[in-house]
DNA sequence: CTGGCCATTTAAAACGTTATAAATTCAGCA
DNA sequence: TGCTGAATTTATAACGTTTTAAATGGCCAG
């Protein structure tokens, strides 16, 4: 029925002042001013008299004017859009939700829109970045899961395109980031296991290649070395593995000699899967073994309240990333002011001897 | 450093043929044709000779031309963007991921971009819809969690703005949708509980106000009435409740007289929370009680393989929605061809007597 | 009353694309 | 030769905005 090639609400043009979406021209005709003046007035240029500015604003509000973003974009080259690159797996247990709602909060009240670009097709994330910059689809980019020599970071740095990452890199050129201190998290979590009397903690490590995996491992190793105890890094699985794979691996490990007696889990799904695997072997959490996990949602604590957790506030992270990116776009060139390392809040119960 | 107001890769204009992003004009200068001709040639207009079309395409490819979407958009009014409205809670257990990757698949190879518009700020979803249509931010819209008299559907229908919903409404004006047959799901799931010998199934219903909640309840009621058995609809919680609330409610219910002996759970988190609550009461799944749940990810089957499930393929749903929306934008006005009701696949084990 | 300066407003051009209508070329034919 | 019409190409305008440079008018010093 309705012709989709034209906005359906564009009614037939009436008399002189044509109907349809109001533009600067509409306001100009109503006020008797020139289009230029109206444009200037709406952007509060000091060269336009206060009277005029006020009158224009009133008329604009009255007729419900809102600027055509396509035209602004064509003219200025600015899109007023912040893009978030979303990996397929990132939606699990609210990662994406939390981050996004944080960013949205930071962008509230600004001219910027948040747009999520799901990256389900371009096999590599770099292609997506390339595409977005080449087609000027956004003024700034946010993405996560950085690698030590992240090619996206490299590309964007070269282009001078504003971005913030969730996670650090090891590139020599510094860049804006917001990161969680996974070293400290892992160190404290492992220390907690040891404080509870465990003598062989196991780490289910982050997926190989990502910067945070190194941090997790480093924190873990530091704690076990300090304690001088045995340890194990479970091979064959990581935090990205499906729950079933983690469960099976844990089960299998317990059929072999000299199994670990506790687990440092970097995520809730990982913890749940571990518990299931152990339970299949007849082992009980808190009795035969312990777990400390990172918590980012409320699922784990509802299902398995016995698991001790350290919380990572992803919404706050998102908000920080939004703020940092806005500063960057706004011209802040001192990168050191655009790097945030968020500290884990260690529960006070951790202080008590296990 | 880099001035963010201009694309950083726009170098200073060289000699005659200025550098920077190639435009139609660049191609025109190279080939000696008029800009109009180039535009036509690239859109494969039949009025342009085959020779010319081929030559223009070659040059375009060579210099890496890609059209400026802002300009196209300004001129044509078309955005080449499909928007997905994402509710905050929808990311749980991969709902959003699956849907989005499906849509992305359907859009692959078309001129359309998928853009996710997280709706974390506008309290009501209608405001977001209003905003998107008024500002012509997309050519079509996809959203879920429809209500019987959904105001978004009403608004978009009035405007003639193309959209597809995940879920049906009870509005008299028919509209494109893709929906899962929650009646059949709920009916079969409940029948399965009864076939296993349970005599008082409980329903944890969908959140009040959404169309699918009615379907779930209807299927449940049909099954219990057919069997003539007792039943219960658990009050105070629904599928949107946090896991902790569901767990507590289940536990609490078992402290009261005449508790249910089985559960129809419309989601995995719901099932997990129920199991936890029951387990806190010392009750074992498969012995003292049973659960049938809807499965949309692989978490539940990894953590609690004993739970019988019926699968809903959300990626397929997304793909269908993408296809339907494209047809709608393409001018398909026969709405009945744009309505899909997807049937639950009932596991063959359901046929065996419990 | 002229010239100059300030404050304010304006006309014209531009961003890159597409739509409309017109121009050009050339073959066929009277 | 000149006309018609088909095939191909083109000039011009337009989408709504911002930018650049220029115009207008008022006021004051000379």
Nearest C-alpha neighbor of B27 from the set B15, B14, B13, B42: B42
Any strand D atom closer than 7 Å to A80 CB: no
Q: Do B5 and A77 touch (CB under 8 A)?
A: yes
Across A43-61, average pLDDT = 95
Please say whether the beta carbons of B271 and B304 come within 8 A. yes
Average pLDDT, chain B: 90
Q: What percent of chain A has pLDDT over 90?
A: 79
The predicted-structure confidence for B292-331, as pLDDT tens digits, reads as follows 999 999 899 999 999 999 999 999 999 999 999 999 999 9
Q: Do B70 and A96 touch (CB under 8 A)?
A: no
Q: Which residues from 41-80 of A have any strand C atom under 7 Å from their CB?
A: 47-49, 51-52, 71, 74-75
pLDDT at site A216: 98
Contacts with B71 from chain A: Cβ below 8 Å? 74
Strands B262-265 and A177-180, how do they pair?
Answer: unpaired
Of B69, B74, B120, the CB nearest to A71: B74
Of A89, A101, A247, the CB nearest to B118: A101
Nearest C-alpha neighbor of B203 from the set B292, B279, B72, B321: B292
pLDDT at site A20: 80
Any strand C atom closer than 7 Å to B298 CB: no
Confidence category of residue B86, pLDDT binned at 50, 70, 90: confident
Contacts with A159 from chain B: Cβ below 8 Å? 8-9
pLDDT at site A120: 72
Of A78, A88, A244, the CB nearest to B302: A244
B46: buried, middle or exposed (CB in 10 Å: 19+, 13-18, 0-12)?
Answer: exposed
Separation between the CA of A174 and the C1’ of D4 (whole angstroms): 72
Q: Which residues from 43-82 of B have any strand D atom under 7 Å from their CB?
A: 47-49, 51-52, 71, 74-75
What are B103's two structure tokens?
């849509």
pLDDT at site B5: 37
The predicted-structure confidence for A262-281, as pLDDT tens digits, reads as follows 999 999 999 999 999 999 99
SS3 of chain B: CCCCCCCCCCCCCCCCCCCCCCCHHHHHHHHCCCHHHHHHHHCCCCCCCHHHHHHHHHHHHHHCCCCCHHHHHHHHCCCCEEEEEECHHHHHHHHHHHHHHHHHHHHCCCCCEEEEEECCCCCCHHHHHHHHHHCCCCCEEEEECCCCCCHHHHHHHHHCCCEEEECCCCCCCCCCEEEECHHHHHHHHHHHHHHCCCCCEEEECCCCCCHHHHHHHHHHHHHHHHHCCCCEECCCCCCCCCHHHHHHHHHHHHHCCCCCCEEEECCHHHHHHHHHHHHHCCCCECCCEEEEEEECCCHHHHHCCCCEEEECCHHHHHHHHHHHHHHHHCCCCCHHHHEEEECCECCHHHCCCC
Q: What percent of chain A has pLDDT over 70?
A: 91
Rounded to a whole number of angstroms, the distance from the CA of B185 to the nearest CA of chain A is 24
The predicted-structure confidence for B177-213, as pLDDT tens digits, reads as follows 999 999 999 999 999 999 999 999 999 999 999 999 9
Nearest C-alpha neighbor of A298 from the set B266, B92, B206, B237: B92
Of B9, B96, B333, the CB nearest to A1: B333
Rounded to a whole number of angstroms, the distance from the CA of A295 to the nearest CA of chain B is 14
Instruction: Tell me how far apart the alpha carbons of residues A275 and A299 are, in angstroms, rounded to a whole number.
Output: 14
The predicted-structure confidence for A136-148, as pLDDT tens digits, reads as follows 899 999 999 999 9
Q: Do B160 and A8 touch (CB under 8 A)?
A: yes
Separation between the CA of A91 and the C1’ of D1 (whole angstroms): 78
CA atoms A264, A270, A272, A273: torsion sign: negative
Q: Which residues from 8-37 of B have any strand D atom under 7 Å from their CB?
A: 32-37
Nearest C-alpha neighbor of B178 from the set B314, B310, B309, B332: B314
Nearest C-alpha neighbor of B220 from the set B179, B254, B265: B265
Give the residue carrying structure tokens 């359906």. Answer: A8
pLDDT at site B91: 57
Nearest C-alpha neighbor of B276 from the set A272, A19, A31, A47: A272
């Amino acid at each position: 029925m309705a012709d989709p090639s034209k906005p359906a609400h564009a009614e037939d043009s009436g008399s002189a002042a044509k109907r349809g979406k109001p533009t600067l021209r509409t306001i100009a005709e109503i006020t008797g001013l020139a289009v230029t003046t109206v444009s200037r007035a709406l952007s509060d240029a000091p060269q336009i008299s206060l009277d005029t500015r006020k009158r224009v604003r009133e008329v604009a509000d009255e007729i419900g004017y809102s600027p055509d973003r396509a035209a602004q974009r064509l003219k200025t080259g600015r899109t007023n859009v912040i893009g978030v690159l979303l990996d397929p797996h990132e939606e699990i247990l609210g990662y994406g939700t939390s981050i996004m709602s944080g960013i949205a909060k930071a962008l509230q009240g600004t001219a910027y829109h948040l747009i999520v670009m799901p990256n389900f097709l371009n096999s590599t994330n770099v292609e997506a970045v390339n595409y977005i910059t080449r087609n000027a689809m956004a003024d700034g980019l946010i993405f996560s899961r950085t690698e030590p020599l992240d090619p996206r970071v490299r590309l964007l740095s070269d282009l001078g395109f504003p971005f913030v990452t969730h996670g650090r890199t090891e590139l020599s050129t510094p860049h804006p980031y917001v990161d969680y201190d996974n070293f400290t998290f892992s160190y404290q979590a492992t220390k907690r296991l040891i404080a509870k009397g465990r003598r062989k903690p196991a780490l289910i490590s982050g997926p190989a290649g990502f910067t945070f995996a190194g941090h997790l491992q480093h924190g873990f190793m530091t704690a076990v070395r300090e304690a001088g105890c045995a340890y194990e890094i479970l091979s064959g699985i990581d935090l990205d593995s499906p729950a079933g794979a983690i469960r099976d691996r844990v089960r299998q490990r317990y059929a072999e000699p000299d199994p670990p007696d506790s687990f440092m889990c970097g995520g809730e799904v990982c913890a749940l899967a571990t518990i299931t695997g152990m339970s299949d072997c007849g082992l009980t959490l808190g009795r035969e073994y312990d777990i400390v996990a990172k918590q980012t949602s409320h699922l784990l604590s509802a299902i398995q309240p016995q698991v001790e957790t350290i919380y990572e506030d992803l919404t706050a992270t998102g908000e920080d990333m939004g703020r940092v990116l806005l500063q960057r776009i706004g011209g802040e060139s001192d990168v050191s002011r655009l790097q945030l390392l968020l500290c884990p809040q260690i529960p006070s119960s951790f202080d008590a001897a296990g």
